[in-house]
Amino acid sequence: MDTQDLSIAEMGRQLRAGSITAEMLARDALARVAARDGALHAFVLVTEERALADARRADEERKSGRDRGPFHGIPYALKDIYDTAGIRTTCHSKLRLHNVPKEDSVAAARLRDAGGVLLGKLATHEFAIGGPSFDLPFPPARNPWNPAHITGGSSSGSATAIGARMVRMAMGSDTGGSIRGPAAWCGTVGIKPTYGRVSRRGVFPLSWTLDHIGPLSRSVEDSAITLQVLAGHDPQDTASADVPVPDYSADLEKGVAGLRIGVPRGFFATAPAITWDVTAGIDRTISQLREAGAVVEDVQLPDYALFSAVGRVIMMAEAFAIHESDMQARLLDYGEITAGRFILGAAITAADFIHALRARRELTDAVNGALSHYDALLTLSALNTAPRFDQPTDSLSSASPIQTIPFNVTGHPAMSVPTGLGANGLPIGVQIVGRPFDEPMVFRIGRAIEKLSGWDSVKLPGG
Amino acid sequence: MAEAPPPDTLAAEFDCLMSRAGITVPPQRRDAALAAYADLRGQIALLHGRYGPESEPSNVFRLSPPGGK
């Protein structure tokens, strides 16, 4: 078996048993990157020397009896908006092409301290918003299931690297769906934890009050193990929550019997962009959950359009505040899509922004209200499968087939899980939404869907 | 916010906002930017006239005494 088909937990078991080494895992992953990334462009920088040094250190530590835990010796990669000490961090932008941070982001430091093996930095839409674009310093990542198709964004390289079996886990960020969207379109798991669950410090911001960071991975269990490393209070991140960290793997195999799951069908049922195979996919998932003993019912939430409007106004206003001086002085150094999106922030008035914040309170209360009756919500991650690069789209329009922004507005944990392939052979997925800080329930339901859907037996690209 | 104004008025409004923000939109990108602004304006209209004075924004904050919760 290829080592990249071993789960993170299984890699850990074999590392502890001595049947493989961290250096073997790193070399296998680097070889896969070398073989496949020329066509897929997941990586903007491969840190081979660092990877081999990390791996050898992990092997030496293990030989000397030091075990840093389940991530010790595991290869991973970082979206190129995560600061990495001494390693270029570009945000996929001309504006930060020569930026070399002095310190690691908190997430990078936690993964390093857990014994992880850094393979490199991954493609993103510019500043986690502008793409896919061909006018940036690096090409856009391509969908591993069919390179003529886009990945979704903005954690594009992260999804590509996992979907192409280069690495089991890669970090992304999610301000309106940038983890869950590419996860859905590339057939990976992707979780946006509760706002405040994982420190954002050292990750370049897009919108402070909507930004979440989290992992994309091959399996739900991989994500649970990774979140165990990442979660925890950071007093230097003003949004970080001082909430105890539970065992994210403890409930994975408990199944869904007796759970109550609400489906906000109004979000997607009549959306013009929805395709029949995606509708059939979520209906199949609902049937499987019911057969497994869950109570699954439709639930009413406010209109999706209101969530979308609130998210966009907040995101554009906050993003423009971050980029104001560069937009004034260096607008043409941004990619055309990025600049076109950021410009909109200059057109938002104070009253517009305050009304969005008032609506945010209403919408958060509405989701909390629904979750007082249900253990979790189930909805779509995306209305369709990944479009082709050459499919005409209005990249500046609010219309998006990605259905994820409501839970950036409200901060609830939400995870995309693949459930099968659409009519064109590209992945489809569903989204599970939990109560604040109830990631264990999100993982539990996600793991059940993973098993019920038979995703484990789907042949992956490059396999 | 009122319903979308006629195209000329919308364009003048957009130009005014860009000028106030110090943003120079390249002429070849102006049509796309203006269309995006019209789209955004439609979304913003959903937010106006929705709340009475008792509805507070999500960032209203609460102070705690030292050592308090």
pLDDT digits (tens, 9 = 90+) for A247-304: 999 999 999 999 999 999 999 999 999 999 999 999 999 999 999 999 999 999 999 9
- Neighboring chain B residues of A324 at a CB cutoff of 8 Å: 21-22
Query: Average pLDDT in the A391-410 region?
Result: 93
pLDDT of residue A420: 97
- Neighboring chain B residues of A339 at a CB cutoff of 8 Å: 29
Q: Do the chains contact at B46 and A360, CB–CB below 8 Å?
A: no
pLDDT of residue A395: 87
pLDDT of residue A298: 98
Distance (Å, whole) CA B66 – CA A302: 39
Q: Do the chains contact at B39 and A398, CB–CB below 8 Å?
A: yes
Mean of the per-residue pLDDT values for chain B?
A: 92
CB count, 10 Å around CB of A62?
19
Per the annotation, the verdict on A154 as an active-site residue is: yes
ipTM value for the complex: 0.95
Q: Do the chains contact at A398 and B43, CB–CB below 8 Å?
A: yes
- Neighboring chain B residues of A352 at a CB cutoff of 8 Å: 1, 44, 47-48
Distance (Å, whole) CA A61 – CA A81: 30
Q: Which residue of B has its CA nearest to A320?
A: B21
Q: Which residues of A8-18 are buried (b: 16+ CB within 10 A; e: fewer)?
A: bbebbebbeee
Query: Average pLDDT in the A385-402 region?
Result: 92
Mean of the per-residue pLDDT values for chain A?
A: 97
Q: Which residue of B has its CA nearest to A365?
A: B58
Asked whether residue B1 carries a pLDDT value surpassing 70, the answer given is: no
Distance (Å, whole) CA A6 – CA A16: 14
Distance (Å, whole) CA A246 – CA B30: 51
Output the CA torsion sign for A221, A433, A190, A118: negative
- Neighboring chain A residues of B31 at a CB cutoff of 8 Å: none
pTM of the model: 0.97
Question: Who among B21, B43, B56 is closest to A361 (CB)?
Answer: B56
**Which of A208 and B5 is assigned the larger pLDDT?**
A208
Residues of A with CB under 8 A from a CB of B: 209, 305-306, 308-310, 312-313, 316, 320, 324, 327-328, 331-332, 336, 339-341, 343-344, 346-348, 351-352, 354-362, 364, 394, 396-398
Token reading at A172? 């992304």
- 3-state percent breakdown (helix, strand, coil) of chain B, nearest 5: 50, 0, 50
CB count, 10 Å around CB of B19?
12
- Neighboring chain A residues of B33 at a CB cutoff of 8 Å: 340, 343, 396
Q: Which residues of A212-244 are buried (b: 16+ CB within 10 A; e: fewer)?
A: bbbbbbbbbbbbbbbbbbbbbebeebebbbeee
Q: Do the chains contact at B46 and A305, CB–CB below 8 Å?
A: yes
Query: Average pLDDT in the A349-378 region?
Result: 98
pLDDT of residue A4: 85
Q: Do the chains contact at A305 and B39, CB–CB below 8 Å?
A: no
Q: Which residues of A281-317 are buried (b: 16+ CB within 10 A; e: fewer)?
A: bbebbbebbeebebebeebebbebebbbbbbbbbbbb
Distance (Å, whole) CA A156 – CA A172: 9
Q: How far apart are the two ends of chain B, measured CA to CA in Å?
A: 39
Cβ–Cβ contact B44 with A under 8 A: yes
pLDDT digits (tens, 9 = 90+) for A114-159: 999 999 999 999 999 989 999 999 999 999 999 999 999 999 999 9
- Element at B51 (helix H, strand E): none
Cβ–Cβ contact B16 with A under 8 A: no
CB count, 10 Å around CB of A3?
19
> Cβ distance A288 to A452 under 8 Å?
yes
Asked whether residue A462 carries a pLDDT value surpassing 80, the answer given is: no
User: Biggest alpha carbon distance in chain A?
Assistant: 62
Q: Which residue of B has its CA nearest to A324?
A: B21
pLDDT of residue A194: 98
User: Biggest alpha carbon distance in chain B?
Assistant: 58
pLDDT of residue A463: 67
Per the annotation, the verdict on A223 as an active-site residue is: no
Residues in chain A, overall count: 463
Cβ–Cβ contact B32 with A under 8 A: yes
Question: Who among A313, A341, A347 is closest to B17 (CB)?
Answer: A347
> Cβ distance A299 to A378 under 8 Å?
no
From A93, A105, A133, A154, the catalytic residue: A154
The CA-based dihedral angle spanning residues A139, A141, A145, A148, taken in that order and rounded to the nearest 10 degrees: -30
Place of tokens 């088909």: A5
- Between the alpha carbon of residue A389 and those of residues A156, A250, A392, the distances in Å are 13, 41, 8
Query: Average pLDDT in the A336-352 region?
Result: 97
Question: Who among A209, A312, A346 is closest to B43 (CB)?
Answer: A312
Q: How confident is the model at residue B2 (pLDDT cuts 50, 70, 90)?
A: low
pLDDT digits (tens, 9 = 90+) for A74-125: 999 999 999 999 999 999 999 999 999 999 999 999 999 999 999 999 999 9
- Neighboring chain A residues of B24 at a CB cutoff of 8 Å: 331
Q: Do the chains contact at B23 and A331, CB–CB below 8 Å?
A: yes
- Neighboring chain A residues of B21 at a CB cutoff of 8 Å: 320, 324, 327-328, 346-347
Distance (Å, whole) CA A277 – CA A136: 34
Token reading at A313? 């106004």
The Cβ-side half-sphere exposure at A292, using a 13 Å CA radius, reads: 24
Residues 6+ apart with CB under 8 A from A94: A136, A137, A333, A334
